[in-house]
Amino acid sequence: MKTAIVIEYDGTKYVGWQRQENGLSIQQVVEQALSKIEKRKIAIVGAGRTDAGVHAIGQVAHINCKLSVPASGLSMALNKYLPDDISIKNAYEVPDDFHARKSAQAKWYRYVFFNGKKESVFYNKTSVHIRNKIDIDLMNESLQYLLGTHDFKGFMTTSSKILNTERTIYEVRAFKDGDYVIIDILGSGFLYNMMRIIAGTTIKIALHKAQPIWIKQIIDEADRSIAGKKLDAKGLMLMHIYYDDSYKEGLPKEKTAYIARYFI
């Protein structure tokens, strides 16, 4: 049996999930903590490469080797060695053929706007501030064009080397909760910077600077140059990764910006 861990993190200070030479990554910090516990070098495999500044409450990674600490006690043991901005929420045994990335059936991402008149000192690390009123109805109208299976090349950063740019979006919604405007997207997978470009495109529509049909045009032409700008990474959060068909039940019925209500 392998061990899988569910990881929550504030990505503000990190170069992203994946270990890199140009700075500190989430993967590196977790591997170092594991290595201290096991007194040997331990590697982990993550479900997705979140970019620098992107957050997660439901990142998943697997550990190939047998550990001295049982899964039931691994979260507590690891959290003793982790900084305040990274936490292991859960650990459990998985079959030998489980792979954090390849076994995933769907992913839920969220983009958060703070739509108050003034910036929030407490939430400016996890949301993008928009002062002007956001039209939720226009945003939802535009997002519906994403539903289904399409070539999403127009919503991918041009430097990406990925050849297969077809993805399926199962559900998408925008809603307001207090001063927050949330975009939730549930899909089979996401291209490099896809969520941040979608957010940049739809916010322009929601501010009455473009029409909803613009989304369809970007998909049809598969042209990144006609899409909106890529928004800041700090507004993006990986919410949950699905490893069974429960994604078919859709996004949680409760709509709230209070992410701690989602138990991953």
Which run of H or E residues covers position 140? helix 136-143
Scan for tokens 């070539």, then name that residue: 151
Phi, psi (deg, nearest 5) at residue 132: -70, 150
Q: pLDDT, tens digit, for every residue of 130-178?
A: 999 999 999 999 999 999 999 999 999 988 888 999 999 999 999 999 9
- The rounded distance, in Å, linking the Cα atoms of 157 and 111 is 17
Residues 11-69 have pLDDT tens digits of 999 999 998 888 999 999 999 999 999 999 999 999 988 999 999 999 999 998 889 99
The continuous run of DSSP H or E covering 198 comes out as helix 194-206
Going by C-beta distance under 8 Å and a sequence separation of 6 or more, which residues neighbour residue 244? 105
Is the pLDDT at 262 greater than 70, yes or no?
no
d(CA 100, CA 91): 13
Helix (H, G, I), strand (E, B) or coil at 226: helix
Higher pLDDT pick, 206 / 49: 206
Mean of the per-residue pLDDT values for the chain?
94
Domains in the chain (CATH in brackets) are 2-94 (3.30.70.580), 106-245 (3.30.70.660)
Residue 98 backbone dihedrals phi, psi, to 5 degrees: -70, 140
Structure tokens belonging to residue 88? 């292991």
Is the model's pTM score more than 0.85?
yes
* pLDDT exceeds 70 at position 180: yes
CA–CA separation, 188 and 195 (whole Å): 13
Q: Are 11 and 50 in contact (CB under 8 A)?
A: yes
Cα atoms in the Cβ-side hemisphere of radius 13 Å centred on 219 = 20
- Here the tokens at position 244 are 């069974």
- For the packed helices 136-143 and 194-206, what is the interaxial angle rounded to 10 degrees? 130
CA–CA gap between residue 19 and residue 178 (Å, rounded): 37
Average pLDDT over residues 185-210: 97
- Count the neighbouring beta carbons within 10 Å of the beta carbon of residue 211: 13
CB atoms within 10 A of CB 84: 7
CB 14 within 8 A of CB 32: no
How do residues 236-258 score in pLDDT, each as one tens digit? 999 999 999 999 999 998 888 87
pLDDT in tens, 74-112: 999 999 999 999 999 999 999 999 999 999 999 999 999
Average pLDDT over residues 210-238: 97
Residues with active-site annotation = 51
pLDDT of residue 95: 94
pLDDT at 263: 40
Tokens of 85: 């901005």
Q: How confident is the model at residue 118 (pLDDT cuts 50, 70, 90)?
A: confident
